[in-house]
Amino acid sequence: MGIFSPEGKLMTSLNRYVDVFFLNLLALAVSLPIITAGAAITAKYYVSMKLVQGHDVKLIRGFFHSFKENFKQATMIWIPSLALFALLTFDFFAAGRLLTGLPMRGLQAFSLLIAFFLFGCLLLGFPMLARFELTNRNWIKNSFALMGLHFPTVFLGLILFVAPFLLAYFLPQFAVVAMLIPSLLTLFVADRCVVFFQPLMPEGYVDPAAPILDEFPDEDASFAHMREEAEMRWPPVSGVGKVYREKKPEESDADRDQDLARASAGDGRATQTAQGPSRDQDLVRASAEDEADLARALDSSEARRIAEKERMWADPHDFLSSGR
């Protein structure tokens, strides 16, 4: 296999970089109203982490899927953060104009320190928001915890963040090169977050959106649609993950008559399909790897518990304080 083989590491990395480059352009365009920047960054990392893990994700569809799903919470986090950044910037320049000597340097250093911690929380917090279900309070707590655990990553991320501005200002002839650095930052953060989040997954967790290596040339349209939905719906981690529901198709009169005939012939196990599925079997997709796992999961108490939690849709998964 040559170095320029389409399946080689070099071409795979280049293709991934190109995808992230266009993903950054899409996020930049969506962020132009300013208030949408938080949701756009979250959606960008949602797709980027899937690309890093080798998932076959559609860039635009996956981006707007996450953008819509996380818009409210990401905006609630982004707006106060943006206001705090503006206040810190004002304090920094106001200290330079109104103060002198040690008080000026002290206030400016304090502003820079707070801005650095806020940057670190957002750098790791938005990917966390794309992957986990959290309340805003737990998001703040877990973001600070992640930043403390992975301080070198935050520091290197800050360097990659300010490098394009410094390069364009001091060496404008390299402005084109500066445009390539944000995509490196996105790939770097996405790759690191995939590694950081892996030990935080519940024990025995199986990602239902993991890439399927086998090909199914003879699969029917319904199964293909199910796999496509699994790729799109990368579930926020909350115990086992989301439980998907799927209505069972209506049976025809002929099928119902056949079931009744088999039951009356002495099978002894009259199927419930003649009367429709029971209410307990209303839940369908519980992170099962195949149809056999799904059949076993339908009647389990764990599946019912997960379904009830899914209906409530309230409890966050505070993964750093859960003791897992």
- 20 and 51 inside one domain: yes
**What's the pLDDT at 61?**
93
Distances (CA, A) of 71 to 23, 67, 74, 117: 17, 6, 5, 23
Residues, the chain: 324
The encoded tokens of residue 75 equal 């905006």
- Which of 34-38, 86-90, 103-107, 313-317 is predicted least confidently? 313-317
Q: pLDDT grade, residue 96 (50/70/90)?
A: confident
SS (HEC) of 259-318 = HHHHHHHHHCCCCHHHCCCCHHHHEEECCCCCHHHHHHHHCCHHHHHHHHHHHHCCCCCC
Q: Tell me, what's the pLDDT at 44?
A: 96
Q: Note whether 112 and 78 are same-domain residues.
A: yes
Between 258 and 77, residue with greater pLDDT: 77
Q: Which DSSP category does 8 fall into?
A: S
**Quick check: 111 pLDDT over 80?**
yes
User: Is 46 in the same domain as 98?
Assistant: yes
Residue 215 in domain: no
> For the chain, how are helix, strand and coil distributed in percent, rounded to 5?
70, 0, 30
Lowest pLDDT segment from 21-30, 50-59, 290-299: 290-299
Report whether pLDDT(273) > 70.
Answer: no
Could you give the CA distance from residue 86 to residue 99 in angstroms, rounded to a whole number? 19
Domain count of the fold of the chain: 2
Cβ pair 303, 243 in contact under 8 A: yes
Give residue 1's pLDDT.
Answer: 53
pLDDT of residue 314: 38
Q: How many CB atoms lie within 10 A of CB 218?
A: 6
Comparison of pLDDT for 208 and 281, the residue scoring more: 208
Distance CA 150, CA 192 (A): 9
Of the residues 200, 234, 262, the one at which a domain ends: 200
- Lowest pLDDT segment from 22-31, 251-260, 274-283: 274-283
Torsion of CA 99, 103, 109, 110, to 10 degrees: -100
Counting residues of the chain whose pLDDT is more than 90, the rounded percentage is: 43
Name the residue with higher pLDDT: 159 or 262. 159
pLDDT value at position 300? 59
| 72 and 15 within one domain | yes
Confidence (pTM): 0.65
Q: Among residues 200, 232, 247, which one ends one of the domains?
A: 200
* Mean pLDDT within 214-232: 55
* In contact, 265 and 250? CB cutoff 8 Å: no
Task: Place 199 in a pLDDT band, splitting at 50, 70 and 90.
Answer: confident
Q: How many whole angstroms separate alpha carbon 151 and alpha carbon 78? A: 21
Domain that holds residue 14: 9-200
pLDDT value for 284: 40
The answer to whether the Cα torsion of 51, 54, 59, 62 is positive or negative is: negative
183 lies in the same domain as 255: no
Give mean pLDDT, residues 220-240.
53
pLDDT at 319 over 50: no
Is there a single domain that holds both residue 187 and residue 295? Answer: no
**Residue 13: per-residue pLDDT:** 85
238 pLDDT tier (thresholds 50, 70, 90): very low
Residue-level pLDDT at 27: 96
Please check whether residue 319 lies inside any domain of the structure.
no
Give the pLDDT score at 229: 58
* Each residue's pLDDT tens digit, 211-220: 554 445 555 5
